[in-house]
Amino acid sequence: MMNAAPPRKGLAVASLVLGILSLLTFGCLGIGALAAIALGAVALIKTSKEPQEYGGKGLAIGGIVTGGIGLVMLPFIGIIAAIAIPTLLRARVSANESAAIGDTRTVISAQAAYAGANGGHYDSLECLVGPDRCMAGYQGPVFLPREMLAPEKGGYRRTLHLGQPASLDQRTEQMSQTSAQSYAYVAVPTAPNQTGVRA
């Protein structure tokens, strides 16, 4: 006598797996949850009509329930995202602005120190990074780290504008040939209101 084949449970198992995945992935954007509910409903109907051939009624019900929970979670995830994303963007803008302000203060301090060694005159960022190339006989430390030469950093575009060059009667042999009487260091957002607000 032949043994009867065990009832098929493929649809019910697939429904439960998709339902669990929809919980773990917050509804799989709705598609996974809907698929779990649909497969579970089909499996439940088949197990009711043909119990000898199809099994897994409990698995199908589990798939429908988990798919339904995954589908219900979607609006809550949307609400959380609507609250969290603007907050994260504001935090990023604030961090970018803080970094630009910090770099501006660094350049101001570096220019003041450089002016002390350069006869009271300011100079380009390249000279602050490599003062021995600009001031004759200079052997001290650098005034700025090399990364300060980057024109764009942290969502801000930074530029240094030198004022009037040092007059001939103010120049000494040790002074840089590109010395200036004044400067302006400007930092503006690369994408206003997205990477930064203030300039």
Mean pLDDT, range 2-16, rounded to an integer: 74
Q: Give the SS3 label for residue 88.
A: helix
User: pLDDT value at position 172?
Assistant: 74
User: pLDDT value at position 43?
Assistant: 83
Q: Is the pLDDT of residue 52 over 80?
A: no
User: pLDDT value at position 1?
Assistant: 45
User: pLDDT value at position 80?
Assistant: 77
Indicate left, alpha or beta for 50 from its phi (over 0: left) and psi (-120 to 50: alpha). Answer: beta
Specify if 199 maps to a domain: no
Residues 134 and 163 in one domain: yes
Q: Which runs of E-coded beta strand occur in the chain?
A: 152-153, 156-162, 183-189
Specify if 152 maps to a domain: yes
Provide the pLDDT confidence category of residue 28 given band limits of 50, 70 and 90.
Answer: low
User: pLDDT value at position 107?
Assistant: 93
Number of folded domains in the chain? 2
Q: Is the pLDDT of residue 136 over 90?
A: no
Specify if 41 maps to a domain: yes
Residues 144 and 124 in one domain: yes
Token couple for 104? 């501006």
Choose the final residue of a domain: 47, 62, 86.
Answer: 86
Specify if 59 maps to a domain: yes
| Domain of residue 23, residue span | 10-86
Mean pLDDT, range 12-19, rounded to an integer: 81
Helices 10-24 and 31-49, packing angle to 10 deg? 150
User: pLDDT value at position 3?
Assistant: 54
Residues 106 and 161 in one domain: yes
Q: How far is CA 7 from CA 27, 36, 47, 74, in A?
A: 29, 20, 9, 34
Q: How far is CA 92 from CA 79, 88, 96, 101, 186, in A?
A: 21, 6, 6, 14, 20
Residues 103 and 157 in one domain: yes
Q: Is the pLDDT of residue 29 over 70?
A: no
Mean pLDDT, range 117-144, rounded to an integer: 90
Q: How far is CA 181 from CA 122, 134, 137, 142, 163, in A?
A: 6, 16, 21, 20, 6
Tell me the whole-structure pTM to 2 decimals.
0.61
Residues 80 and 115 in one domain: no
**pLDDT tens digits for range 55-71:** 778 888 888 888 888 77
**pLDDT tens digits for range 69-100:** 877 777 777 777 778 788 888 889 899 999 99
Q: Say how many CA atoms lie within 13 Å of 4 toward its Cβ.
A: 7
User: pLDDT value at position 124?
Assistant: 92
Pick the range with the lowest mean pLDDT from 24-33, 78-87, 88-97, 150-159.
24-33
Residues 23 and 59 in one domain: yes
User: pLDDT value at position 156?
Assistant: 93
**pLDDT tens digits for range 162-192:** 989 887 667 777 788 888 999 999 999 999 8
Residues 123 and 178 in one domain: yes
Residues 73 and 103 in one domain: no
